[in-house]
């Protein structure tokens, strides 16, 4: 009803002022795989805001894993000549879609919204193809978090680790006390998430960049990488044997319930703690993964916009892009999702301590060069290389492969997929 | 001697029955687990074991799955998607069965040069992995203006179901004596007259087989459904997948299971009602080469 | 005069052409939507296609990459294990249950329905239940331990070496009832008089089955093997719902491999190459079998 009234108002306005291009009520079709809990709530916010602007939201949720089915759907839609208005695409994959010549140009919206000033350069670089804006960022996730249940550590008489050496000691104690040290879901992306935090903790930001951004063979097959695999093996020994196939939020639930001591997972895990009514600092603590204090592995979610023919759809698309960048949306969305806003200069007052830490680290790490793109979440490489790294890491995790072999295979797999 | 024989046969009967019952248990376990979980409360699921009897039976999960469970952003349950599936399955099954019947009729009673090769081509064709056709089919549907519509999905299902329906009808009509058709031809009956007057009336059993097969295949399809449908036109399997993957904090196993059973009800119904005719139909000829 | 003969000729011609006209749509559809698409895919496997189809020639590069990929060989080996065991167990269980059901059993209808119903369910549906039953911490293992068998272990689902066998268990569960129906139908179709004659001759029941009944079910074996291998090669939902290809990629099958490379990873070229390898494997196994069976039935 409200929408209808607004619509009538808008139409009347357009008529009276006889603008050549008015506010056309269009339809946006948004392809995403945010179907669980806080994510779904966040998308609902966007839907509401867009409907308030007089457009129709056609939901196109394709659930499952890290959007595997969603990517299939997207490809066939683009091939059939009927792409959605926007799709949840991120990182270098945006460049791949740009190469295919399917994305639209958002420069006019970006100019009007002053995006160049509002977005940190790391973020805006990802959103541009060939110097033009083609996507809008919705959030920044920090991936290198460790979520710990202090009660478990207390019971086991262990100290929450800040380095990987301390981790081994603490894990041993928790296991001796009859609890599970590490809550883990044995899916390849979760194996990779844990692995990249280890690599960052042991090798540091420069090493991380050389390995996962430059894809340097020598670095990939180096003693430091072997050491990282050794540590991954240690972590694996402290997971429970039922972990294969487990969803990440069920692993988080193990920490919440005190069955397990800690989980290595990005800040979206916080949504699960919040939903369970737990307070940060008291019931759980969020700390950087061992050895990664001061560093920040970023994962930026974004919507890439496709070229649409219809004029009213184009108008709706522009409004969608504009709304996503507005503080109102960025705040509500990120409060729900556990991440921090992608645009700078926003008040963090409503956010909790974990998000405030994250926000501060984001700014400071960008100055010290410790801000690195997440490999596990497709921010550092094309999906083919990412897949090759996944395969090696997960094969190592689920077999008794030696660390030396793993590093060698990693280098050759990355070469093969480039 | 007679007594021993009786004893032996009694033992044999006991073996037969226990083997059959054991088999039945193996087949029933997953359904039992699903049913029992769907009427439990979440607490009950957490504390109890896989097959423990529910403390109290509740159908909340069922009504939630039907009307209020969240599928992505929309929290309207499976209700709407159910009808999408029906409106896709019914025409697709009818068309593919009809064409299959005609094909089978031609391949057995009106054979022409190359008809065997055609049949072999069709048979080999049904081994094509469907992932291969996803992209070119998408292009074709876009070209025809059917992308993201239910008619588009019907078209896809008809095309890739033809191999099987043709196989069923061909094998059935092979066992119908050629003399019947020849006699009718001498009497001056044409192609369609013979089909509708002579073959179709005796095709009941094989139509059942074909309908059951196609119905379950199309109803249960996920791959084509997820790729070629859009928005609120999605079939129920796609909605089910989204529902199962939409969780807030705790996984609502009871709702998942209830939704899964709801999504399976039509096919289960078809099997329960027509299962008897299914075996009869297979007996009637489809398994004779 | 001449026009009327023309007309009749026309009518005759149409009558004569009718059978071909009727199968023409299927023929055209098969040609385009199956063989045309296969050709298109074959071409794609020789290009550099990544995210979307591209048509620049790249030679055999994609095949070289495919053969160098360890995951591909795991998937291929898994198909052999899975396909072999799946077909064998389905046949054994199917024949066994069919023979037992054919012994004038009470409640045959109910039992038959029970054996058949898994075929009615999508694996999207039953995958959740199986995942639960096979999970050591939630399902069978926990249940047996609660019942006092402390040392009972059944962790195939989470064991890299054994995960593919859980796919076999669930696959056999789903399809063996259908095979049972095929064989039951076959048994019902056998002429009773042959069996009676053999009985009069004093042949024992197992012997009658071995040397008379089972050999006469050859066409049933044909249908069953065709349908089962069809299911095995295309098994996709099954793996996705049960193990997601894991742990790691230990239970990957070519179908899931192809899907993940072609669609998730933006390596359409490798995906197309793997699909071609699948098709070649199918052709190598199915075509000779089909050929010999079709020939022999035509003769017989």
Residue pLDDT, tens place only, B267-279: 988 888 887 788 7
Q: What is the pLDDT of residue A226?
A: 96
Q: For residues A104 and A134, is the Cβ–Cβ distance under 8 A?
A: yes
> What pLDDT is recorded for position C245?
78
Nearest CB among B141, B232, B249 relative to A37 is that of: B249
Write out chain A residues lying below 8 Å of B46, CB-based.
none
- Judge whether A27 is closer than 8 Å to chain C, CB to CB: no
B contact test, residue of A35, A245, A255 with most B CBs within 10 A? A35
Q: With contacts defined as CB-CB under 8 Å, which chain B residues touch C96? A: 19
User: Given a cut of 90, is residue A284 above it in pLDDT?
Assistant: yes
One domain for residues A133 and A167: no
Judge whether residue C5 has pLDDT over 60.
Answer: no
Indicate the residue of C69, C246, C265 with minimum beta-carbon distance to A186: C246
The pLDDT assigned to B55 comes to 80
Give a yes or no: residue C49 inside a domain. Answer: no
Say what the pLDDT of residue B12 is: 81
Sort strands A145-148 and A285-288 into parallel, antiparallel or unpaired: antiparallel
Query: Could you tell me how many CB contacts below 8 A there are between chain A and chain C?
Result: 98
> Do both C186 and C280 map to the same domain?
yes
Kindly report which listed range (A314-328, A386-400, C210-224) carries the lowest average pLDDT score: C210-224
E strands within chain C?
Answer: none
Residue A246 and residue A208 in one domain: yes
Range of the domain at A395: 145-297+368-417
Across chain A, what does the average pLDDT equal? 87
Express each pLDDT in C168-191 by its tens digit: 999 999 999 989 988 988 888 787
* C55 in a structural domain: no
Q: Distance from C113 to chain A by nearest Cα, in Å?
A: 33
Residue B286 has pLDDT above 70, yes or no: no
Q: Do the domain assignments include residue C99?
A: yes
pLDDT tens profile A196-213: 999 999 999 999 999 999
CB contact under 8 A, A96 and C160: no
Predicted confidence band of residue C237 (pLDDT cuts 50, 70, 90): confident
Whether residue A55 is found in the same domain as residue A66: yes
**For every residue of chain A, which 3-state class applies, written as one string?**
CHHHHHHHHHHHHHHHHCCCCCCCCCEEEEEECCCCHHHHHHHHHHHHHHHHCCCEEEEEECCCCCCHHHHHHHHHHHHCCCCCCEEECCCCHHHHHHHCCCECCCHHHHHHHCHHHHCCHHHHHHHEECCEECEEEEEEEECCEEEECHHHHHHHCCCCCCCHHHHHHHHHHHHHCCCEEECCCECHHHHHHHHHHHHHHHHHHHHHHHHHCCCCHHHHCCHHHHHHHHHHHHHHHCECCCCECCCHHHHHHHHHCCCEEEEECCCCHHHHHHHCCCCECCCEEEEECCCCCCCEEEEEEEEEEECCCCHHHHHHHHHHHHHHHCHHHHHHHHHHHCCECCCCCCCCCCCCHHHHHHHHHHHHHHHHCCEEECCCCCCCCCHHHHHHHHHHHHHHHCCCCCHHHHHHHHHHHHHHHC
Most confident listed range (B54-68, B79-93, C43-57): B79-93
Same domain, A127 and A181: no
| A86 is a domain residue | yes
Stated as kind and residue range, the H or E segment containing B209 is helix B204-220
- pLDDT at residue number C218: 82
| Residue of B249 and C50 predicted with greater confidence | C50
Using a CB-CB distance cutoff of 8 angstroms, which residues of chain B are in contact with residue C262? Answer: 131
Q: Which of C52, C65, C243 sits opposite A79 (nearest CB)?
A: C52
Same domain, C170 and C36: no
State the pLDDT at residue A19.
35
State whether residue A48 sits within 8 Å of chain B by CB: no
Residue A7 pLDDT greater than 50, yes or no = no
pLDDT in tens, B111-164: 888 888 888 888 877 777 788 888 889 888 988 988 888 999 999 999 999 988
Residue A415 in contact with partner chain C when CB distance is under 8 A: no
C142 and C71 in a common domain:
yes
User: In this complex, do A69 and B139 lie within 8 Å of one another by their Cβ atoms?
Assistant: no
Mean pLDDT calculated for residue range C27-47: 91
Percent of chain C residues past pLDDT 90, beyond the cut: 22
Distance from CA of B54 to the nearest CA of C (A): 15
The chains in contact with chain C, meaning 3 or more Cβ pairs closer than 8 Å, are A, B
Tokens of B84: 């999408």
Indicate if C147 and C18 belong to the same structural domain: no
Chain A, residues 267-296, CB within 8 A of chain B, namely 272, 275-276
C80 in the same domain as C148: yes
Q: Is A382 at the interface with chain C, CB within 8 A?
A: yes
Are the CB atoms for B156 and B221 separated by under 8 Å? no
CATH of the domain at C190: 1.10.3720.10
Give me the domain span that covers residue C284: 61-299
Could you tell me which chain A residue has the CA closest to the CA of B70? A35
Residue B58: DSSP 8-state: -
**pTM score:** 0.84
Question: ipTM of this model?
Answer: 0.81
Contact C244 A245 (CB under 8 A): yes
pLDDT computed for residue A16 by the predictor: 37
Spatial distance between the Cα atoms of C53 and C70, rounded to a whole number of angstroms: 25
| CA of C178 vs chain A CAs: smallest distance (Å) | 29
CB distance C158 to A241 below 8 Å: yes
Instruction: Tell me the pLDDT of chain B averaged across its residues.
Output: 84
**Does A10 score more than 60 pLDDT?**
no
User: Are residues C92 and C8 part of one domain?
Assistant: no
Question: How far away is chain B from the Cα of A248, in angstroms, using its nearest Cα?
Answer: 10
Residue of C158, C241, C255 best to disrupt the A interface, most CBs of A under 10 A: C158
pLDDT in tens, B72-121: 667 778 888 888 999 999 999 999 999 999 999 999 888 888 888 888 88
Q: Which of residues 61-120 of A touch C (CB under 8 A)?
A: 65, 68, 71-72, 75, 78-79, 93, 96-97, 99-100, 102
pLDDT exceeds 80 at position C69: yes
| Mean pLDDT on A104-131 | 91
**Rounded-to-integer distance, Cα A119 and Cα A300, Å:** 12
| Domain contains A12 | no
Which of B274, B245, B268, B287 lies closest to B70, judged by CA? B245
Which chain A residue lies closest to B131 (C-alpha atoms)? A72
Using a CB-CB cut-off of 8 Å, the residues of chain A touching C155 are 241
Q: In chain B, whose CA is at the least distance from the CA of A272?
A: B249
The contacts of residue C16 (CB under 8 Å, 6+ apart) are none
Q: Are residues A102 and A155 in the same domain?
A: no
Query: Is A161 contained in some domain?
Result: yes
Identify whether the C-beta of residue C134 lies closer than 8 Å to the C-beta of residue C154.
yes
Does residue A13 form part of some domain? no
The first and second tokens of residue A331, run together, are 């705040």
Nearest by CB: C265 against A383, A399, A409? A383
Across the interface, do B30 and C109 touch by the CB < 8 Å criterion? no
Number of domain units in chain A = 2
Is A11 contained in some domain? Answer: no
Q: Which of C34, C55, C297 to mutate to test the interface with B (most CBs of B within 10 A)?
A: C34
Residues of B in contact with C278 (CB under 8 A): 129
Q: Within an 8 Å CB–CB cutoff, is residue A77 touching chain B? A: yes
- Give me the number of domains chain C comprises: 2
Share of chain B above pLDDT 90, in %: 17
Q: What's the rounded Cα separation, in Å, for the pair B166 and A69? A: 31
A9, pLDDT greater than 60: no
> Is residue A84 located within the same domain as residue A118?
yes
Does C3 reside within a domain? yes
Q: Mean pLDDT, to the nearest integer, of A270-299? A: 90
Answer yes or no: do A274 and A406 share one domain: yes
A40 vs B72, B141, B230: nearest CB: B72
Q: Which residues pair with A128 in a beta bridge?
A: A133
Q: Distance from A72 to chain C by nearest Cα, in Å?
A: 5
Residues of chain C numbered 207-246 and touching chain A (CB < 8 Å) = 243-244, 246
Q: Do B220 and C121 touch (CB under 8 A)?
A: yes
Q: Please tell me whether residues C237 and C149 are part of one structural domain.
A: yes
Nearest-neighbour CA in chain C from A177: distance (Å)? 19
> Per the CB < 8 Å rule, is A63 touching B241?
yes
Q: What percent of chain C has pLDDT over 70?
A: 95
Say if residue C129 is in the same domain as residue C178: yes
Which A-chain residues 223-242 have CB contacts (< 8 A) with chain C? 240-242
- pLDDT score for C299: 42
Residue C170 and residue C21 share a domain: no
Q: A336 touching B, CB under 8 A?
A: no
Question: CB distance C266–A93 less than 8 Å?
Answer: yes
Of B29, B191, B271, which has the smallest distance from its Cβ to C18's Cβ? B191
Whether residues C31 and C100 fall in one domain: no
In this structure, the answer to whether residues C9 and C152 fall within a common structural domain is no
Contact C160 A391 (CB under 8 A): no
Residues A182, A65 share a domain: no
Neighbouring chains to B with at least 3 Cβ pairs closer than 8 Å: A, C
Instruction: Say which residue the tokens 């649409």 belong to.
Output: A308
In chain C, the residue whose alpha carbon lies closest to the alpha carbon of B121 is C30
Confidence of residue C296 (pLDDT cuts 50, 70, 90): low
Q: Does residue C94 lie within any of the structural domains?
A: yes
Q: Does A77 sit within 8 Å of B147, measured CB to CB?
A: yes
Asked, for residue A2, whether it belongs to a domain, the answer is no
| Residues of chain B found within 8 Å of residue C112, distances taken between Cβ atoms | 275-276, 279
**Quick one: A105 and A76 in the same domain?**
yes
Task: Assign residue A238 the CATH number of its domain.
Answer: 3.40.190.10
> Does C93 share its domain with C212?
yes
Summarize the confidence of residues C37-52 as an average pLDDT. Answer: 89
Q: How many CB pairs under 8 A join B and C?
A: 254
């Amino acid at each position: 009803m409200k929408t209808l009234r607004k619509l009538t108002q808008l139409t009347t306005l357009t008529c009276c002022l006889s603008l050549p291009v008015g506010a056309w009520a269009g339809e946006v079709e948004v392809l995403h795989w945010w179907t669980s809990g806080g994510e779904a709530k966040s998308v609902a916010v966007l839907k509401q805001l867009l409907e308030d602007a007089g457009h129709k939201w056609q939901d196109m949720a394709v659930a499952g894993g890290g959007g595997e089915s969603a990517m299939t759907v997207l490809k066939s839609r683009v091939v059939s000549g009927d792409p959605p208005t926007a799709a949840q695409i991120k990182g270098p994959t945006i460049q791949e879609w740009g190469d295919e010549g399917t994305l639209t140009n958002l420069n006019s919206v970006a100019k009007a919204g002053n995006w160049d000033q509002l977005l940190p350069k790391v973020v805006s670089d990802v959103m541009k193809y060939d110097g033009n804006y083609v996507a809008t960022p919705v959030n920044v996730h920090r991936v290198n978090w460790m979520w710990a249940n202090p009660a478990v550590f207390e019971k086991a008489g262990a100290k929450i680790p800040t380095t990987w050496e301390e981790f081994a000691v603490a894990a041993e104690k928790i296991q001796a006390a009859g609890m599970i040290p590490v809550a883990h879901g044995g899916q390849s992306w979760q194996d990779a998430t844990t692995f990249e935090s280890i690599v960052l903790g042991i090798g540091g930001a420069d090493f991380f960049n050389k390995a996962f951004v430059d894809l340097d063979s020598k670095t990939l097959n180096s003693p430091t990488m072997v050491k990282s695999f050794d540590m991954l093996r240690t972590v694996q020994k402290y997971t429970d044997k039922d972990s294969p196939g487990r969803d990440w939020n069920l692993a988080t639930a193990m920490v919440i319930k005190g069955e397990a001591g800690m989980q290595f997972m990005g800040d979206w895990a916080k949504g699960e703690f919040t939903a369970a009514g737990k307070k940060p600092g008291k019931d759980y603590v969020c700390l950087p993964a061992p050895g990664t204090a001061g560093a920040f592995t970023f994962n930026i979610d974004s919507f890439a916009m496709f070229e649409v023919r219809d004029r009213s759809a184009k108008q709706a698309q522009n409004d969608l892009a504009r709304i996503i960048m507005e503080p109102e949306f960025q705040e509500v969305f990120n409060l729900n999702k556990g991440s921090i806003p992608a645009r700078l200069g926003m008040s963090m007052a409503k956010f909790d301590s974990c998000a405030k830490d994250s926000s501060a680290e984001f700014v400071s790490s960008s100055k010290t060069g410790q801000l690195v793109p997440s490999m596990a979440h497709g921010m550092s490489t094309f999906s083919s290389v990412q897949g090759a790294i996944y395969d090696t890491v997960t094969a190592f995790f689920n077999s008794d492969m030696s660390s030396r072999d793993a590093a060698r295979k990693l280098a050759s797999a990355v070469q093969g997929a480039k | 001697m007679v007594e021993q024989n009786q004893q032996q046969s009694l033992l044999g009967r006991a073996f037969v029955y226990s083997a059959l019952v054991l088999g039945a248990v193996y087949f029933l376990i997953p359904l039992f687990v699903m049913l029992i979980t769907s009427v439990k409360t979440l607490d009950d699921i957490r504390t109890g074991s896989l097959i423990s009897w529910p403390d109290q039976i509740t159908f909340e999960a069922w009504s939630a799955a039907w009307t209020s469970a969240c599928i992505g952003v929309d929290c309207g349950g499976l209700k709407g998607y159910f009808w999408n599936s029906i409106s896709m399955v019914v025409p697709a099954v009818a068309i593919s069965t009809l064409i299959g019947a005609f094909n089978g009729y031609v391949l057995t009673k009106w054979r022409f040069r190359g008809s065997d090769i055609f049949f072999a081509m069709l048979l080999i064709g049904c081994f094509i992995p469907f992932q291969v056709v996803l992209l070119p089919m998408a292009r074709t549907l876009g070209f025809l203006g059917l992308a993201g519509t239910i008619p588009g999905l019907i078209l896809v299902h008809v095309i890739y179901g033809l191999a099987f329906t043709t196989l069923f009808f061909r094998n059935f009509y092979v066992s119908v004596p050629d003399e019947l058709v020849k006699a009718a031809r001498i009497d001056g009956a044409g192609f369609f007259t013979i089909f509708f007057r002579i073959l179709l009336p005796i095709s009941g059993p094989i139509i059942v087989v074909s309908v059951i097969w196609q119905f379950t295949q199309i109803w249960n399809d996920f791959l084509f459904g997820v790729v070629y449908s859009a928005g609120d036109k999605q079939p129920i399997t796609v909605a089910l997948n989204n529902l199962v993957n939409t969780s807030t904090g705790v996984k609502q196993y009871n709702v998942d299971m209830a939704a899964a059973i709801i999504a399976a009800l039509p096919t289960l119904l078809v099997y329960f009602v027509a299962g008897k005719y299914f075996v009869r139909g297979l007996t009637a000829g489809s398994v004779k080469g | 005069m001449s026009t009327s003969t023309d007309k009749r000729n026309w009518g005759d011609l149409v009558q004569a052409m009718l059978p071909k006209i009727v199968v023409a749509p299927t023929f055209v559809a098969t040609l385009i939507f199956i063989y045309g698409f296969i050709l298109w895919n074959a071409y794609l496997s020789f290009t550099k296609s990544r995210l979307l189809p591209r048509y620049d020639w790249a030679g055999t590069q994609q095949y070289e990459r495919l053969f160098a990929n360890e995951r591909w060989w795991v998937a291929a080996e898994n198909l052999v294990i899975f396909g072999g065991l799946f077909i064998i167990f389905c046949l054994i269980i199917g024949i066994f249950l069919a023979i037992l059901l054919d012994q004038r059993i009470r409640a045959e209808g109910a039992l038959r329905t029970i054996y058949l119903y898994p075929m009615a369910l999508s694996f999207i549906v039953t995958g959740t239940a199986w995942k639960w039953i096979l999970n050591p911490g939630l399902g069978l293992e926990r249940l047996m331990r609660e019942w006092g068998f402390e040392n009972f272990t059944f962790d195939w689902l989470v064991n890299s070496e054994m995960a593919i066998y859980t796919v076999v268990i669930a696959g056999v569960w789903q399809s063996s009832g259908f095979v049972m129906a095929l064989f039951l139908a076959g048994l019902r179709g056998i002429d009773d008089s042959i069996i009676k004659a053999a009985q009069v001759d004093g042949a024992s029941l197992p012997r009658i089955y071995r040397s008379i009944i089972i050999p006469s079910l050859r066409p049933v074996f044909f249908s069953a093997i065709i349908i089962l291998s069809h299911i095995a090669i295309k098994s996709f939902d099954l793996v996705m719902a049960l193990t997601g290809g894991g742990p790691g990629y230990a239970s990957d099958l070519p179908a899931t491999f192809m899907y993940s490379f072609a669609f998730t990873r933006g390596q359409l070229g490798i995906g197309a190459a793997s699909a071609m390898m699948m098709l070649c494997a199918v052709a190598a196994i199915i075509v000779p079998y089909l050929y010999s069976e079709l020939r022999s039935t035509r003769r017989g």
